[in-house]
Amino acid sequence: MQARPAYLPYLLLAPSVLFLAALFLYPLAETILLSVRTAEGFSFDNYRRMAGDLNFASALGNTFLLVGVVVPLQIALALGLAQMLTKITRGREIVLWVWTIPMGVSDLAAGLVWLALLTDRGYVNSALFALGLIDGPTGWLSYETPVTLFVAIVLAEVWRATAIVLVILVAGFGLIPKEYGEAAEIFGATPWQRFTRVTLPLLKPSLQTALILRTVLAFEVFAVVFALGGRNFPVLVSEAYVWQFENQSYAVAAAYAVVVMAISLAATAIYLRVLRVKPEARL
């Protein structure tokens, strides 16, 4: 067989790299530039404007609160579901398939579905009224009811985006040979000990992937929040949206975008570090 030239792989990869550069790196550089450019030259004025805004602190706080509640909830839920899935053999694909249906629904559509359920005259209100549990239409999504609004957003996000974590973890569970769990059981581990001492450590790589993916996306949460809460529950991306389209201030919107990106990168770096598996400890 003739030896292939060494540059061939690079040549074949080139189109995708160019494609990425054109559609990702270039706009990224543009955004960063936009956020630091002012009429007088380069400065952090846009960031100062962003931080000085009344909504910035609450948007930042809300975003972290949402990520801090939603992501652990999703991971825990997906771990539980994936663990249960490993116990069944018949109909496993069907169950997994049903659970992953929400993955196919766009986030805006998901937000609207939950809005239809939870709005003043929505299904939930009608049902509770019919059961005699409430006296009339009750508002849950207004600025006067921040707790129920928050709960509704968490519910919608968990419903919408747990499936992707589940799919990754199910694949991860599948990579762990069953002998490890069996050995743990023989040597006296309870189901919980087996899970914490053997399954979880061996699941680290999948857990890392799932966490990075979910956390990055959770920091970018927008459509569901906007559909359910409008401006009652500001988050970073919805503020960027407001600055971009209502205030027509592209530079401040760009500053928001850069902040979201920086947070995502930091989160990714933390996960890569904390959940890294030493080469010698790999499966």
Partner 1 sequence: MAGIAIENVRKSFGSMTALKELSLNVEDGEFVALLGPSGCGKTTLLRIVAGLETRTSGRILVGGRDVSDLPPRERKLAMVFQNYAVFPHMTVYENIAFGLRMAKADRTKVERQVQRAAGLMHIEHLLGRHPGQLSGGQRQRVAVARALAVEPSVLLMDEPLSNLDALLRMEMRAELKAVLREAGTTTLYVTHDQTEAMGLADRIAVMHGGRIEQLAPPMAVYRTPATVFVGSFVGAPPMNFLRCQAADGAVAIGALKLACPRNSGEIVMGVRAEDLLPATAGTGLPFEVRVVEPLGSHALLTGTAHRQQIRVVYAGERDVSAGETLHLAPIAGRICWMDAADGRAIEGTT
Binding-site ranges for partner 1 (CB under 8 A):
177, 179-180, 182-190, 193, 198, 201-202, 204, 277-283
Nearer to partner 1, 37 or 204 (CB): 204
Torsion angle, alpha carbons of 47, 50, 52, 55, to 10: -150
Nearer to partner 1, 45 or 185 (CB): 185
Nearer to partner 1, 180 or 241 (CB): 180
* Cβ at position 271, least distance to partner 1 in Å: 18
Is 283 in contact with 202 (CB distance < 8 Å)? Answer: yes
* Cβ at position 179, least distance to partner 1 in Å: 4
Give one DSSP letter per residue of 176-221, joined into a string: S-HHHHHHHHHTT--HHHHIIIIIHHHHHHHHHHHHHHHHHHHHT-
Nearer to partner 1, 3 or 186 (CB): 186
* Cβ at position 88, least distance to partner 1 in Å: 15
* Cβ at position 81, least distance to partner 1 in Å: 23
Nearest to 74 by CA among 196, 170, 203, 160: 160
| Gap between the Cα atoms of 38 and 47, Å rounded | 11
Is 50 in contact with 258 (CB distance < 8 Å)? Answer: no
**At which residue do the structure tokens 């990075």 appear?**
212
Nearer to partner 1, 64 or 180 (CB): 180
* Cβ at position 181, least distance to partner 1 in Å: 9
